[in-house]
Amino acid sequence: MFIDILLIVLGLALLIAGGEFLVKGAVGIAAKARLSKLVIGMTVVSFGTSSPELLVSLQSASEGLPELAIGNVVGSNIANLALVLGVTVLIFPMPVARNTIRYDWPMMMIASLLFYVFALDLEVVRWEGLIMFAILIAFITFIIIKSRKSSDPNPVEIPEMEEMTKNISTSKHILFIVIGLVGLFFGSTWLIDGAKSIAEDFGISKHVIGITIIAFGTSVPELATSCVAAYKKETDISVGNLVGSNIFNILAVLGLTAIVNPIPIEEVVMSWDILWMIGISLLLLPMMVIRRKVGRISGVILLGIYVTYIVTLF
């Protein structure tokens, strides 16, 4: 029992640290290659910050634990919008950019509904994963082209960009990437082993473990970042970041996982979890549109929904 909890804690710590090292190294190399901040933000940073979810899902699927892979994606998406956003706006209401409503939210809904359609036969296979990933590439390309035509040529700001590249050699950036990948590999392995053992010891389904413990764990970086930004009243961490994370979770994490290893899906996911994910995503639209910000009342509602959802799982 103690060993299992320790594995989960250490696994989460390695995942978070590994993701940080991977982003730092990849951003440094991309910057030295003179890629624009916009391209780096939309590709390197976005993929890097989704790397913990990706490694956990890939590892789970390869070990014959699809419940954890699916639970990780669906649970993380629910946690991002209901838990992370709910807690964050209670601290400080978050503004909503026009592009979040016009582009990001519709793309999140398209990705969610596409996932639902593909999962109707209780499996997401390789060609479906390819379609998901191709849609993501097309969306990123569209956003980059659209942003370059706008008045702001670099709308994506990368925190501490100078620190990531200044006085650091290319070989050191490569070392950061290697350290990050090693951390992600062992972190995902330990997290999955610990979660699997706890599920077996307490007779809890792997589906519930995946959608609660693992999903919450991989959402911790977003929760910490958003809460700190809200406390400091920094509006650069916005609703769009969380919506974008959900898009990547489905199209990149689930898509790439399905390409590597087709993912069987339990009926309970189709009849319950995905419907909650889509429902919360739909509810977010009026919250964003009415006042162009998500306020504290919305935060209370979102947190209440998250608690209700978690209670229904047990």
Question: For the residues of the chain, what is the DSSP string, one character each?
Answer: -HHHHHHHHHHHHHHHHHHHHHHHHHHHHHHHTT--HHHIIIIIIHHHHTHHHHHHHHHHHHTT-HHHHHHHHHHHHHIIIIIIHHHHHHHS-EE--HHIIIIIHHHHHHHHHHHHHHGGGSEE-HHHHHHHHHHHHHHHHHHHHHHHHSS-S-----TTHHHHHTT--HHHHHHHHHHHHHHHHHHHHHHHHHHHHHHHHHT--HHHHIIIIIHHHHHHHHHHHHHHHHHTT-TTS-HHHHHHHHHHIIIIIIHHHHHHS-EE--HHIIIIIHHHHHHHHHHHHHHHHHHSEE-HHHHHHHHHHHHHHHHHH-
* Cα gap 239→247, rounded to integer Å: 13
Q: Is 8 left (phi over 0), alpha (psi -120 to 50) or beta?
A: alpha
* Cα gap 60→271, rounded to integer Å: 22
Given a contact cutoff of 8 angstroms between Cβ atoms, the answer to whether 7 and 190 are in contact is yes
The 10s digit of each residue's pLDDT in 38-85 is 566 656 766 777 778 888 888 888 888 888 889 999 999 999 999 999
Q: Which two tokens stand for residue 86?
A: 């709910």
Given a contact cutoff of 8 angstroms between Cβ atoms, the answer to whether 27 and 164 are in contact is yes
**How far apart, in Å, are the Cα atoms of 287 and each of 81, 91, 290?**
12, 17, 6
Q: Could you identify the residue written with the tokens 């290697």?
A: 178
The 10s digit of each residue's pLDDT in 18-32 is 878 887 887 777 777
The one-letter code for the residue type at 288 is M
Which of 242, 229, 236, 224 minimizes the C-alpha distance to 284? 242
- The pLDDT assigned to 244 comes to 86
For 125, list phi and psi in degrees, rounded to 5: -100, 180
The neighbour count for residue 4, using CB atoms within 10 Å, is: 19
- The pLDDT assigned to 154 comes to 47
Q: Domain ranges in the chain?
A: 37-155+205-313
Name the β-bridge partners of 264: 123
Tell me the mean pLDDT per 10 residues along the chain, length 314: 85 83 79 67 68 85 87 93 93 86 93 97 96 95 78 50 63 86 85 83 86 84 76 70 89 94 93 96 94 91 96 90
**CATH number belonging to domain 37-155+205-313:** 1.20.1420.30
